[in-house]
Amino acid sequence: MPKTFKKPEALSDQKTHYCPGCTHGVIHRLVAEVIDELGVRGRTVGIAPVGCAVLAYNYFTFDFLEAAHGRAPAMATGIKRVRPDLIVFTYQGDGDLASIGMGEIIHAANRGEKFTTIFVNNAVYGMTGGQMAPTTMPHQRTTTSPFGRDVADVGMPVKMAELLSALQTPGYITRQTVIKPKHIVRAKKAIKQAFTYQLEGKCFSLVEVVSTCPVNWGMTPLDAIKWTEETLLPYYQLGDVKTPEN
Amino acid sequence: MDIDLEGIVIIVGNYGSGKTEVAINLAVHQRQTGKDVRIADLDLVNPYFRTREVKDALTERGIDVVLPPEKYLQADLPILSPLVSGMIRRPSGLTLIDAGGDDAGATVLASLADSFKDKTIQMFQVVNPFRPFTETIEGCLKIRDEIEGASKLRITGIIGNANLIDETTAGHIYDGYGFVRKLSNKSGLPLLCIAVAVNLLDKIDTKRFSCPVLCLERMLTLPWM
Amino acid sequence: MGKVLMKGNEAIGEAAIRAGCLNYFAYPITPQSEVAEYLSKRMKEVGGLFLQGESEVAVSYMLFGAAACGERVFTTSSSPGISLMSEGISYISGAQLPVVFVNIVRGGPGLGGILPSQGDYLQATKGGGHGDYKLLVMAPASVQEAVEMVMTAFPLAEKYRNPVMIIGDGLIGQMMEPVEFPDHLKSEPTNKDEWAANGMDTRKSDTPNIVKTLHLDPKILNELNLTLKAKYERMKQEEVRYEPYNIDSDYQVLIVSYGTMSRVCRTAVDDLKESGFEVGMIRPKTLFPFPEKAVREAAGKASCKVVISIELSMGQMVEDVERSVLGQRPVEWYGMCGGDIPTPEEVMDAVKSLV
Amino acid sequence: MSYHMSIDVERCKGCGLCIAVCPQHVLELSEEVNPLGYFPVFQARPDDCNHCALCCMMCPDVAITITEVVDDTSAQA
């Protein structure tokens, strides 16, 4: 069925600084589409992380904060507690959320803060030059694991969605990806669900999006998608890990 | 009309009601009547202005002071001296226990329940109506409930301690007396005494009170005094 | 409302409420936990917010978030906690957010001890976190003054869009004094709609507000730092506060001392005066901006032979005193910082030994 | 009613993700460099496009849009 397609209003005209084939752009667009569809642009506050998305505030057309490394969930807590009427989301990468900001995200989720986290997991530190992340796969080479991740030395990659789901506080935790159109459709549905839970004041919500980093992985954009499918997705399985109902 | 205490006497109250100052002065007063007096510092929640700071002054007056071991005296740790349960199990003369403030400070008393078993215990709530949360009768009764809940013991009497420290006037003492009288009527708890700072005594007509007056000498002083 | 008897820590909490700040994020640490304990009850009564964060680091960013959307917010902590918050304080300063911090200082370095200290003077006045920033720092010497400073801190933080820190040593937090809460300390409306990320609908605008500290263009970052510098210079012009004591006498020694220590010094000055020995004192109420001119002029008095900085630290304030005295007189130091406070007699001996 | 697909040559980074998802094999990379220095994608076989919008959905740079064109013929139909 033919349809129209245009840039959502919540997305700005600015060209992004992301590398060719990096899926940050897709995820940005999905967030913007959801905000448009929910009609909440005028009361949304986004929080940019330290990481490749540090400049995210340039790419949206609503209020933004830029956080220190890993602290976005604490900032979101601060806003949401004093202005529960605002729609607040953090946009964080794997180094930011799963390493330096592990404490902040766990406690925010455990308190059941009513904001939404978009967690972009591409198994590597993108911004600082391709170093090992907590989510780097076993044997995956990075600039600080030149011989491949040695799990005997640094442990296994962290499955954040499952880890957060172990908390007893109700929440919506889901893992998605955006490597193919069918995934993009599901990811958008999940993001919309997450924001809807927030709008209803229901629970904390987190959408982990398994993403690509062609440049730091040393692959073409298409090879990166293939590698995601073959290597990341069997370990980082897609789907809802926790819903507030169970 | 005088204060006569014996057995186990616990002093409780909200933060800053003046429990410690009252407990110390009660110890001194009762010692002066010739009794054997022991006082235990059970304030595990507040690290400043505790009985331990006047240990020497009390020891000189022949009062036995039970404190955590010397090396932990300034520690930010909830250390309960094992001597406390011993002194409760074998009371002689007057055994005074200075608990910490609020229900939080009184909680430690519940842990001593085994020692308190089968003992007659008097527990007094110190009230200063010029402190937040005890400005109203309802506030005082709420704190009484909270302390009783936390300590698993019943409060048996009230000690009035109306003061604004150096700025206390005779008017404050009279107002404070009226307040604790009302509290006593409302709660059904007897009024043991009211405390009056020594320098105010000659400005006060003690005949206006139908309870004893505890003359309070400030012992927990500030470094510039 | 008449006077009430309050602990410094409680009075600080109450003062914030009276100043219209109904948002408080904190993490417990001795000797200031009573603020959190007090406010955990009081905020319920007044419909305000108290949230105990998971760490001081997190608390500092909760403050950032709340302040960034234009709400009044404050925290209290003690030395090791302030060290942890220093990361956030740098970001809050860089983002030019009005946040009030209270540091009930304890002994250090490291865990130190829980007794009074003034060992965080340099941390508060010269930085602590990274980058070129300054806090407006006030130091009360009584519970009443702590109340007034807290109530003044919010409008000041908003006037400058800069964090304000109140430094009280452990004794100020723990001691009880009668206080009353002035109601004249009302603040003016702020221009927060110009900068706060409070939601575009809130301010009926279609231009997003972005609160950030990242400025990759060196010219823009330099400009920001020049703006901050101009702000600090303006504080030096407009916000210096101090109290002179016995300054009309022909004093031979000038004491510079603040907070709890200054109260002991005051007793020493009185006692020395009785024995015919005149000593003057300048008590800084703002540590940044430091009362440079007042100290310089007092040191320059013909009768004055020597200036002494008396502190509960190993001479952290001395360099500010020296900078103010400009070499007119020798500058000495006396103090201790283990938790004990010098007695008036010890201060008298220290002062007398100078001449 | 008809639809018009347009590619913003200046936004395109030439990553080729759209080429891979197009079921009609409409798209190819251009030989000409755009102002960003990339070789942008173009519609090599525009007549084959059925406006399914999968390319738009896949594009990380919102470089592809499809708009509705109201023309007389569709109005008559």
Q: Where are the domains of chain D?
A: 2-76
Number of domains within chain B: 1
> Rounded to an integer, what distance in angstroms lies between the CA atom of residue B193 and that of residue B99?
19
D13-57 per-position pLDDT tens digit? 999 999 999 999 999 999 999 998 999 999 999 999 999 999 999
Dihedral (CA of C151, C156, C159, C165) sign: negative
pLDDT score, position D75: 47
Give me the amino acid identity at A160.
Answer: M
Task: Decide if A107 contacts C54 (C-beta within 8 A).
Answer: yes
A188-211 per-position pLDDT tens digit? 999 999 999 999 999 999 999 999
Which of C235, C13, C234 lies closest to C137, judged by CA?
A: C235
| DSSP strand pairing (C4-7 vs C23-26) | unpaired
Shortest Cα–Cα distance, C196 to chain A (Å): 9
> Rounded to an integer, what distance in angstroms lies between the CA atom of residue C313 and that of residue C306?
20
pLDDT score, position B81: 74
Lowest mean pLDDT among A100-109, B61-70, C74-83: B61-70
Q: Which CATH number fits domain C4-195+226-238: 1.10.3720.10, 3.30.56.10, 3.30.70.660, 3.40.50.970?
A: 3.40.50.970
Residue A128 has pLDDT above 90, yes or no: no
With touching defined as 3 or more inter-chain CB pairs under 8 Å, the answer for chains B and A is: no
Instruction: Please state whether C220 falls in left (phi above 0), alpha (psi between -120 and 50) or beta.
Output: alpha
Contact criterion met (CB < 8 Å) for C58 and A45: no
Residue B35 has pLDDT above 50, yes or no: yes
Residue D73 has pLDDT above 60, yes or no: no
In words, the CATH class of domain D2-76 is alpha beta
pLDDT score, position B223: 84
Nearest Cβ partner for D13 among A20, A185, A225: A20
Per the model's pLDDT, the better-predicted residue between B216 and C170 turns out to be: B216
> Rounded to an integer, what distance in angstroms lies between the CA atom of residue C276 and that of residue C135?
40
Instruction: Give the Cβ contact number of residue C142 at 10 Å.
Output: 18
pLDDT > 90: percent of chain B: 65
Q: How far is CA C289 from CA A72, C126, C129, C242, D11, in A?
A: 32, 11, 18, 10, 51
Distinct helix (H) and strand (E) counts, chain B: 7, 8
In a domain, B98, yes or no: yes
pLDDT score, position A2: 47
pLDDT score, position D76: 46
Q: What is the DSSP string of C149-213?
A: HHHHHHHHHHHHTS-EEEEEEHHHHH-EEEE---S----PPP-GGGT--S-TTTTT-SS--EE--
**pLDDT winner (highest mean) among B68-72, B111-115, D61-65:** D61-65
pLDDT score, position D77: 41
In a domain, B33, yes or no: yes
> Rounded to an integer, what distance in angstroms lies between the CA atom of residue C15 and that of residue B132?
13
pLDDT score, position B183: 97
pLDDT score, position C1: 53
Helix axis angle for B170-187 and B137-151, nearest 10°, is: 60
pLDDT score, position C274: 97
B1-20 per-position pLDDT tens digit? 789 999 999 999 998 899 99
Query: Which structural domains are found in chain A, ordered by start?
Result: 24-242 (3.40.50.970)
Please list the residue range(s) of chain C that carry CATH number 3.40.50.920: 242-352
Lowest mean pLDDT among A86-100, B28-42, B74-88: B74-88
Q: Which residues pair with C103 in a beta bridge?
A: C77, C167
Interface partners of chain A (CB pairs < 8 Å, 3 or more) are C, D
In a domain, B221, yes or no: no
Lowest mean pLDDT among B43-52, B132-141, C91-100, C239-248: B43-52
In a domain, B186, yes or no: yes
Residue A99 has pLDDT above 50, yes or no: yes
Please list the residue range(s) of chain C that carry CATH number 3.40.50.970: 4-195+226-238
How many A×C Cβ pairs under 8 Å? Answer: 128
**Mutate which: A47, A50, A65, A85, vs C, most C CBs within 10 A:** A65
C188 — contact with chain A (CB < 8 Å)? Answer: no
Shortest Cα–Cα distance, A79 to chain C (Å): 5
What is the predicted ipTM? Answer: 0.91
Residue B156 has pLDDT above 50, yes or no: yes
In words, the CATH class of domain C242-352 is alpha beta
Positions of chain C with pLDDT lower than 50, given as ranges: none
Task: Decide if C32 contacts C8 (C-beta within 8 A).
Answer: no
Task: Decide if A107 contacts A47 (C-beta within 8 A).
Answer: no
Residue B37 has pLDDT above 50, yes or no: yes
pLDDT score, position B154: 95
Cβ neighbours of residue D35 closer than 8 Å, sequence gap 6 or more: D10
Which domain, by its residues, includes B202? 7-216
- CATH number for the domain harbouring residue B154: 3.40.50.300
**Mutate which: C5, C18, C264, C343, vs B, most B CBs within 10 A:** C5
> Rounded to an integer, what distance in angstroms lies between the CA atom of residue C110 and that of residue B41?
28
Q: Which residues in C lie closer than 8 A to residue B47 (C-beta atoms)?
A: 30-31, 114, 174
